[in-house]
């Protein structure tokens, strides 16, 4: 019998039926399977389109003057990815925000909306963020679309969502 360097967990649903996922099947059939390939988000990305940004900022309690300035800004994101380790530098005219994180490990920081604590996870090829703020939970998702652009969306605690589209430089 082959030796495995990883432990695989097979999950039972509420009816105690086995849910066969990729890893569970590999154990059941005695095959060792490698972890899934992850999309590489590395690169310099320039924002080319944004939707519903003013409503999103308003939902976060950002005042009129800051919202008006924010709507005029161009945004560039530099992403360095090494497996499940990330460095993201968000650059615009008003500020530069940098964050380094590991998948599944909470990180704390501060932005214009205040202090936050974010945990980022993979959901297939989608990078999902769960951000705790004084204003509530902000949810984010980032992924590469079929046309090669990167979609980055942010959903405010009240459900208002903004979507930004980035092109790789």
Most confident of 10-24, 59-73, 108-122, 149-163: 149-163
Task: Decide: 56 and 154 in contact? Cβ < 8 Å.
Answer: yes
Count of Cβ atoms closer than 10 Å to residue 84 Cβ: 14
Count of Cβ atoms closer than 10 Å to residue 137 Cβ: 11
Task: Decide: 43 and 130 in contact? Cβ < 8 Å.
Answer: no
Backbone angles phi, psi at 7, to 5 degrees: -95, 135
Q: What is the pLDDT of residue 95?
A: 82
Secondary structure in 3-state letters for 118-131: EEEEEECCEEEEEE
3-38 per-position pLDDT tens digit:
333 334 444 444 444 444 444 444 444 554 445 678
Q: What is the pLDDT of residue 35?
A: 52
Q: What is the pLDDT of residue 61?
A: 92
Band (90; pLDDT cuts 50, 70, 90):
very high
Mean pLDDT of 75-86: 96
Q: The whole model's pTM is what?
A: 0.76
Minimum mean pLDDT among 6-10, 54-58, 80-84, 156-160: which range?
A: 6-10
Q: What is the pLDDT of residue 73?
A: 86
Percent of the chain exceeding pLDDT 70 equals: 79
Q: What is the pLDDT of residue 152?
A: 97
Minimum mean pLDDT among 10-14, 98-102, 139-143, 154-158: which range?
A: 10-14
Q: What is the pLDDT of residue 36?
A: 60
d(CA 153, CA 143): 9
Q: What is the pLDDT of residue 25?
A: 42
């Amino acid at each position: 019998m082959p030796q495995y360097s990883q432990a695989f967990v097979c999950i039972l649903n509420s009816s105690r039926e086995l849910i066969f996922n990729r890893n569970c099947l590999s154990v059941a059939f005695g095959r060792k399977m490698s972890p899934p390939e992850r999309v590489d988000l590395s690169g310099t990305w320039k924002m080319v389109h944004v939707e519903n940004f003013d409503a999103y900022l308003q939902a976060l309690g950002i005042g009129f003057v800051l919202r008006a300035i924010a709507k005029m800004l161009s945004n560039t994101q530099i992403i360095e990815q090494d497996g499940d380790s990330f460095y993201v530098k968000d650059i615009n005219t008003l500020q530069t925000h940098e964050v380094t994180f590991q998948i599944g490990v909470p990180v704390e920081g501060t932005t214009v909306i205040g202090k936050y604590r974010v945990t980022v996870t993979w959901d297939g090829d989608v990078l999902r963020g769960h951000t705790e703020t004084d204003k509530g939970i902000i949810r984010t998702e980032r992924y590469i679309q079929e046309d090669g652009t990167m979609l980055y969306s942010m959903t405010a605690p009240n459900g208002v969502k903004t979507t930004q589209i980035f092109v790789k430089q």
